[in-house]
Amino acid sequence: MKVFFDLLTTLFVRTITLFKMIWRNDMMDTKWLELYQYLQEKTGGFLYEGNIEDNLNYKYNFIKSQFSTVNSGEDENKNDWLEHEAFTAFFSDIIRRGSLSLNQLDTVYNILMSAKLCQLALAVINHFRTQLSNDEFSLKAGLIYQQLGDHEHARAMFEDGIKSNPNNYMCFNHLGFNHIYTGENAAAIEMFEQVIALAPELSGGYQNLAGCYYQDSEFKQAANYCEKVFTLDKTIVATYITAISAYLALKNTEQADRWIQLSIDNEITSMELVRLSGILAFQCQRYEEAIAAFNHYLSNTPDSYDVLHLRIKAQIGAHQWSVLEPDLKCLLAFDPHDSELLEQLFLTYYHTKQWLDAECVMAELNKLSTHYSSTYRNQINEIRQQNSIAVSVIS
């Protein structure tokens, strides 16, 4: 009798759950239907009988009913996960019934990877594995694991791809990135050298080497590889950034200036290039030009405090003392005992004739080191004289 009662209870609960699911009929975000339509448009490879939107929503509500504690109104992340699972289940059913050419398979894979639907992309290539060569399957699977952050499995797949086809330079290329992600720069360089040996006309291999050598502070080699990239492809933004940064590190302002001009000539735009142009102008003591570049950069990224500090130095170089106080106080809020900033604030008050403020800042500097009294003896004497005059006038 108890067993029969438990069975009735279970059936009742399931019926109520299903009833709630149908009654509520929550709708998935339309982006999933649009994604399916985009896949269909680009491949024409899927046939589905019935109303797609209704079936997507049915999958969604069924999965949601299994997680009754999830409230989409309270937790968008959980709701997005449910929609992701529903679309994965829906699309997995479709691919099991469909057929794709190799080109269509590549298109579907690339779209799913762009949409960050890694598990679904893996399901697709597994289902159509016989249409892929061993090295191509390994490359695609490795990229999926790489995007999922599983660098160990990704490395194994890339290495398998190389074993299957030692001429697959893309396996070497992505194995190089895998080594970068795990902090093995020397191994990454070896992989990218294999890439340029197998595909000497591929600009990406040289660019990746330039980046690796720059990270290793081998600035001359980084610059040389950037020069090689430029002969193959003039559109890669990272090449300009790496080249200018390398030449600045080498204190070769002439070459850095040449690359800035090349970026202008080739209509390459990037806020990082704006920042680098400001640094170059500052190093060349072209302070007004540097200030203009830093102003533009800070208008887009106002929280870049390193650039703010550089702008302060450029304004000091241009003797723009009247505008310095707000920026100096902003930076001093992070470290009230920064001697360089306090020294700059002292000079700001001195040049703008804010005598009492200057004397107060000098008192703070003297707490940090007594050499400031000697360095600025003449200024201190003038400040005290001006303060005495002010007191006399008040008296």
Residue 48 burial (C-beta neighbours within 10 Å; 0-12, 13-18, 19+): middle
Question: What's the rounded Cα separation, in Å, for the pair 238 and 226?
Answer: 9
Max Cα–Cα distance, the chain, nearest Å = 107
Calpha distance 246→226 (Å, rounded): 9
Phi-psi region of 215 (alpha: psi -120 to 50; beta: other; left: phi over 0): alpha
Residues 6+ apart with CB under 8 A from 391: none
Q: What is the full DSSP assignment across 300-329? A: H-TT-HHHHHHHHHHHHHTT-GGG-HHHHH
pLDDT by residue for the chain (395 residues), tens only, comes to 555 555 555 555 555 554 444 434 567 788 888 888 888 888 876 666 667 777 778 777 877 777 755 454 456 677 778 888 888 888 888 887 777 889 989 999 999 999 999 999 999 999 999 999 999 999 999 999 999 999 999 999 999 999 999 999 999 999 999 999 999 999 999 999 999 999 999 999 999 999 999 999 999 999 999 999 999 999 999 999 999 999 999 999 999 999 999 999 999 999 999 999 999 999 999 999 999 999 999 999 999 999 999 999 999 999 999 999 999 999 999 999 999 999 999 999 999 999 999 999 999 999 999 999 999 999 999 999 988 775 544 44
pTM of the model: 0.82
What is the distance between the alpha carbons of residues 232 and 334, in angstroms, rounded to a whole number? 46
